[in-house]
Amino acid sequence: MCGIVGAVAKRDVLGILLEGLKRLEYRGYDSAGVALIHDGKIERSRTVGKVNTLVEALKKAPISGSTGVAHTRWATHGEPSVKNAHPHMSTVGDIAIVHNGIIENFAELKEKLIKKGISFSSQTDTEVIVHLLADSWDHKAGFVDNVKKVLSKLKGAYGLCVIHKDYPDQMVAVRSGSPIVIGYGIGENFISSDTLSLLPVTNRFSYLDEGDIALVGLDNVVAYDQSGQETTLVIEELDSVKDAASKGRFKHYMQKEIFEQPEVIENTFSSGIFEDGDHRSVLVERFGANAKALFSEVEHVRIVACGTSYHAGMVAKFWIEKYAGISVDVEIASEIRYREAVIPKKSLFVTVSQSGETADTLAALRQAKKKRYLSTLAICNVANSSLVREADLSFITEAGIEMGVASTKAFTTQLTAFILLTLSLAKSQNQLTKEKESELLKTLQEAPKLVKKVLSLDKEIERLSMDFVEKHHALFLGRGVQYPVALEGALKLKEISYIHAEAYPAGELKHGPLALVDRDMPIIAVAPNDMLLEKLESNLQEVQARGGELYVFVDHAVSENLNIAAKHSFVIEAVPELIAPIVFTIPLQLFSYHVAVQKGTDVDQPRNLAKSVTVE
Ligand code: HGA
C-alpha cells in the first residue's frame, strides 16, 4: 500500500526520493508526490497515476532540495486526485507530511479545526495532522516535542514523516501501527516504510518499534520510545539482500516469482529440517526455542489470515487434522477480530501473512495475545515485521521479497511451512514415527523438482490460456484439500485478469452453481490422484452434460482413468498426495498469468489492489 521515503543530505535528494518511490511501486498505489525544503521554503509536486508521471511533471516544473519527503498513496479517504495526494502541507506552507495508515478520529478533529477557521484542501484523513501541527506549533519547543503533542490527539494507525522549513537538515519519523525504517548513510540519513526503497543508498537500517519517534539529522538519529525515553536503535546490515527490484530475464515480477518457486520452496524446507543419519527430521525449534514443549500441549489450532494466506491456512487444516490429529479452524482476520469467538482449550493461535504488516491479521494477533490462547505463532515472509516481533513463536518463509501484488511464491512457501508445522505438532505429541517423519519429509523434498517440471510446461499452459481471454466468468472446482487450491486459482485469475471467477468444492455444484453452467461458463478443475477423484469425475460429468466447457489439470497417474472428454485436459507429472496442493497451484498461477498478459492488464500492479495491506 502507501509508501514513504524521506531523506536529509547535503546534496539534492530528489533523485533518491523518486528512485525510492519507484522501488515501492510494487505495493500498489494511485498517486505520488514529493516535497523538498529549498531556500527556506517547501516546494511540492504531486500527480495522479504512476511515479513516471510525477517524474515527467518534475521535468517540466523542477524542484530541488537537500531535505525532503515523498509518498505513493493508495487512497483510503478521498478519491485518487492531485489534491488528495501526499505530501500534505500546512496552509502557510511551513510544514509538509507524508502518512501511511488511517486516522480514525479525523472527522471529529477536522470539525474542530474548521471551527477555528482552518480550511482544508483535500478529503483525506491525513490533512488533519498537518493542520494540527501548524495550529499548535510552539517555536520555543523542539521539533520532536511539537510532533509529540499532536500524536496524543490521533487515534488510528500511522507511519509518519514530517519536515519543517525551520529545520532544513532534519525530519521526524513516527511509527504507530505502520512500519518505518531508518537508513544510515555517511553525512546523510533516510527514512522509509520499506528497506527496499533505500537499497541504492544504504544497506544499514534500524527498525522503529511501535510508538517510537525519531529525529533524523545529517549525522545522527535520536529515537524516543512510547514513554518518551531516549531509546537505542540497533543498526542491522543487510548484506545479502538480493535486489528484488530487478526482473532479470522476465517480463513481469509475477512471472519471475512463479519461476523462483522451486528454489524458495527448497530454501524454506531446508531451513526447517536436519539430516539425522539416514533419517530426515523436522527441526521443531525452527518455530522457537520452546516450541516443542508448547506444541506438545496443543489441543486445537486456530489459523487466522487474509486473502492468499487464508487459503494456505485452509490447506493446512487438512494436513494438521490428518497427520497430527489436532482439530483446526481457519478464520478470516477481518471477521474474527469483530466476533466473540469461543477459544477451545489449549489453542494455538497461528497468523499467516506475507508482509507481516497486514492490518487485520496484526490486529487479530494483538487481540489474541490478550486472550486465553496457549500461545501465538506467526508464519511470515519478513523477519523484522510487526507480526513476527509480536507473536510468541515464528517461522520465516524463505520466499525472498515478493514484488508482484498477486502472491505466488509466498503462498507455496507458506504451504511448505505448514507441512513443517504439521510434522512438528505431530512429533511433539508423539503422533509420528521416525519412519513416517522421514518418509513425509522425503516427499516434501520432491516438491521443487515437481514444481520445476510443471514450470517446464509453461508454453503449453500459455497456449491453453489463449482462448480464455474472451471469457467473462469462470468456475474453479476442487475437492478436499484441493478446494482451497481452487479458491487460490480463482483469486489469481480475478486479481490480475479481472475475469470474474469463483471456486466451489465440486460436490457443492448441484446445490446452486450448476445453474450457471452453459456454453459460456468455463470450468477449471484440479484433479489430483487422491481418494476423491471418482467423486470429482461425477461432478465433472454433471458439468459436461450441461454443455460447460471443461479445463482439467490432471495427475499423470490417473489421467487415463479420468473418463471425461474435457475440451482442454492438461496432464501434469504424477504427484504424491502430501505435496499435491503445492504442485497443482503452479499451473493455475501460470494460467492466470498468461490470461492476464494476453488481456494486457497491469499484471504486477492490478487496479485497485495493493501489496501489504496495512490498512483495515
Ligand atoms: N489515509 C491516507 C493514507 C492511506 C494509506 O496509508 N494507504 O495505504 C489517505 O487516504 O491518503
For the chain of 616 residues, list the mean pLDDT of each consecutive stretch of 10.
92 96 85 97 96 96 97 92 98 97 92 97 97 97 96 91 98 91 95 92 91 96 94 83 72 94 91 78 90 97 97 98 98 94 97 93 96 97 86 92 92 98 97 94 95 95 90 93 97 95 90 87 88 81 84 84 73 91 97 95 87 70
Query: Which residue among 21, 88, 99, 613 has the greatest number of ligand 1 atoms within 8 angstroms of its CB, and so is best to mutate?
Result: 99
What pLDDT is stored for residue 546 in this prediction?
84
Q: Which of 2, 161, 306, 380 is catalytic?
A: 2
CA 175/CA 161 separation, integer angstroms: 9
d(CA 528, CA 201): 48
Ligand 1, CB within 6 Å, residue ranges: 1-2, 73-78, 99-102, 124-126, 614-615
Our CA dihedral for 287, 288, 292, 296, rounded to 10 degrees, sits at -70
Distance from the alpha carbon of residue 274 to the mean position of ligand 1, in angstroms: 44
Strand order in the sheet with 473-478: 500-505, 473-478, 522-527, 549-555, 568-572
> Nearest-5° angle of CA 343, CA 345, CA 348?
75
Cα 571 from Cα 454, distance rounded (Å): 10
pTM comes to 0.75
| 273 beta partners | 282
Which residue's alpha carbon is nearest to atom 1 within ligand 1?
102
Number of CB atoms found within 10 A of residue 422's CB:
25
Residue 457, class by beta-carbon neighbours within 10 Å (0-12 exposed, 13-18 middle, 19+ buried)? middle
3-state SS class at 267: helix
Q: Give the per-residue pLDDT at 585.
A: 97
The pLDDT of residue 157: 80
For residue 179, the model assigns a pLDDT of 84
Upper half-sphere CA count for residue 603 (Cβ side, 13 Å) = 22
CA dihedral of residues 486, 491, 496, 497 (deg, nearest 10): 60
Cβ-contact 441, 266 below 8 angstroms: no
Domains of the chain as residue ranges with CATH:
3-237 (3.60.20.10), 261-445 (3.40.50.10490), 453-599 (3.40.50.10490)
H or E segment and range at residue 592: helix 580-599
Q: What is the pLDDT of residue 442?
A: 93
**Is residue 2 annotated as a catalytic residue, yes or no?**
yes
Does 611 qualify as catalytic in the annotation?
yes
Reference 591, options 491, 448, 516; nearest CA is 491
CA distances from 176 to 63, 73, 282 (A): 31, 18, 37
- Testing ligand 1's pocket by substitution, the residue of 100, 355, 611 carrying the most ligand atoms inside 8 A of its CB is 100
Answer yes or no: are the C-beta atoms of 404 and 26 closer than 8 Å. Answer: yes
Q: d(Cα 362, Cα 20) in Å, to the nearest integer?
A: 26
Pairing of strands 473-478, 171-176: unpaired
